[in-house]
A and B are shown apart, each in its own frame.
Chain A
Amino acid sequence: MCHPTSPFPFRLSRSNLTTMTTPDTLTLNSWQVIAATDEIPVGSITRTTLLDTPLALTRDRDGVPVVWRCTDEEPGDEIDPETILDRLPVTTGYGFVWTSLGTPPKELFSITEYAEPDRVNMSCGSIGIHVSAPRAVENFLDMGHFPYVHTDILGAEPHTEVKEYDVEVSEERDEVLATRCRFFQPRAALSATDGMEVEYVYRVPHPYCSVLYKSSPEAPERRDVIAIFLQPVSEDRCRAHLLQSMIDSTSTITELRRFQQTIFGQDKPILENQYPKRLPLDPRSETPIRADKSAIAYRRWLSQKGVTYGVIPAAG
């Protein structure tokens, strides 16, 4: 179904246009995720938007992704990738295609576990959300909402406490790291008085990406990895690309995807009801509590790096 009047999956509203800015240098020169590699058609066009810029993408016969700035291409059009000369840089990593509108670094941040041979690696779909990418990262780092948003799955009232945890900004790796993050999760029913405390580690290795590690029920000495890669579509819209890298020999991919989509589907209405949609970096714009230590560190890190796209920079 093609509609010449609405080439984008949504129409840019007036307020989108007024807030549209040139991305900061760091954002422009970073790798940004745009699609799950397997979901890009071979020999025909699909479209997406990155940093307010429409992009077209396809894969050649060898399955190698090709990305370029879109002009009048329509999704579904057949194309011979050989004819595309003015290409954007492309790399693939963790099952996804990454591109850049500037000059990206040689390598993407690392998730070493992904390469372990016995892991089940999968994308869990790319879901559009009407909120900025940094708001979605912050939600991913947050534990306090488990009982209220992921009720009976990741938490349940009355077990609401966020215990003290550690946060550091690793200078060597230039990333935010939160460790010893513990949360009480009910084992079965709400009435059960015993449950178990799970321990998470969170990394923010990229302004719009976060990685979560939790001990695997199947191999307690190893950790399951769940990552969220946000594609900044515009200042107040993003697409969440979800990755799972699991030690799990029993569940099917469909079951594992379903679990992750259930969780993310619960966060979506919260994120879309958040105002302002861009993440405010001024400490006085919202009210942090001790449980928000990782979010405070993340906001400060974005400020220091000079990220301005998708955020409301602190004045002065």
Chain B
Amino acid sequence: MTTTTALGTARPVARATAEPVVRIRDLTKRFGGAVALRGVSLDIRPGEVHALMGMNGAGKSTLVQLLSGAYQADGGTIEIEGSDRPGLTPRRARRLGVCTVPQRRELVMALTVAENILLGDLPASRSLVSWKSVERQARQALRRLDIDIDVKRTAGELTVAEQTMVEVAREVRRGGKVLILDEPTACLGAAAADRIRALVRTLRDEGVAVVYISHYIDEVLSVADRITVLRDGSVVHSGPAAATDAAGLVRHMVGREVVSRRPERPAPSPAVALTVRGLSHGRDISDFGVQVRAGEIVGVLGPAGDAQSRLFDLLSGRRRPDTGELEVGGTAVPFGRIPRSLASGLRCVTGDRRALGLIPGLSLDENLMLATDRLGGRRLQRRSDTTRRAAPRRESYGVVSLTRNPAVGSLSGGNQQKVLLAKWLETSPVACFLEDPTNGVDVAAMADIHALIDQLASRGVAVLLASSSAEEVMRLSDRVIVVSAGRVVAEHEVSAITHDELVATALKGHAR
């Protein structure tokens, strides 16, 4: 997702001389029997982008939560600006200038940008709000960080990238000296991610200490001054970004080499298993067509939020397109009817597992068996029985949980994604539509998921893969369709095109 643009910029080097604003020493944290952090030490300096990397469950989130006061450490110290701060609470951390911008946006969506930036601090004389002054101050806060957003727009109508920027501006205005950004570019397109990275560089130049959490290795290498890698709750690597490379980082994170290479798959059968013709829906998608043979993987590549991200709603039956035809395994399937879509053997796996994929309050096993049990017309359900039937899926999809059968909402993103895939791919599909199947998962989980998709195609399932990542499409697909602004702009056999050519095609389409 990140390598579709030129990332490199000159990185000022000799900044490490500044006194650390946060000094973390021997921090430990246990949750029940599980050790989340075992003696982590870290220095965070002003004017430096400090990237925190690690697999899902390596301890990044725990570290951030200790630093922001959400949890108390079991051992070790956190020094902020030279003095030890035991018993940190979120409020106190914020007052000391440690601010977090979490993955999920925390804006009041119905209020304007200006109100959001000044939330809790509206300038008022004799309890009457002076709107002129609100807007002026909000504009100032944005301008200071070179952000160009109209302060009168409501937060809900901003793009995700813009919402992130507003949130960052708010924290900086409140006096944030240490800004923790948790995967700020997840789910963003290349252009939007670029804007966020530019903002991070501005913050650094303003003298803010930025703690940057990201799974994207190229991005981290381009934006970070210093990289710390956590594995199993310990620091396994910490040093200047210039002194390491992608392969080294992966080795540190995973503890072994990770190979996600195209395996030899049996040639697709000549029978077409999934046909889409003339699919049009408003301005989102127009005249989209594809034929996928059994055992074939066809990638649909486009900028995040483009035509490929509408396919889930249309193919799953959630929405009825304006025009179009769908055939699965040779039989026509009407649009706009979820039961018919399911009955045809088409399985659509969403890229938005929170909203459309899993039921967070239900247990892991129940989520795993949710679709299977309903499609199989089951009537009775016993917990022990569900657990027994779900066990092979946990095993083959590598879902790990600390407790026996937790609510699925409490699992890490990578695990949730595996549960989502297992839920659908084990329901004997004829054809599968997968949307961003490795969204927000770490490198090892990504390799596992890629292997699972390979196996799926090897079993003779037609796979249509929608993605905004050129790497993923190159790694998995036999053919790739490039979409831009709702239209198909190119179609290639993957064997006949290089990664760079593909990226160039995608960008060219974007420019038109």
Report if A and B associate in a common complex: no
Task: Give me the interface of B with A, judged by CB distance under 8 Å.
Answer: none
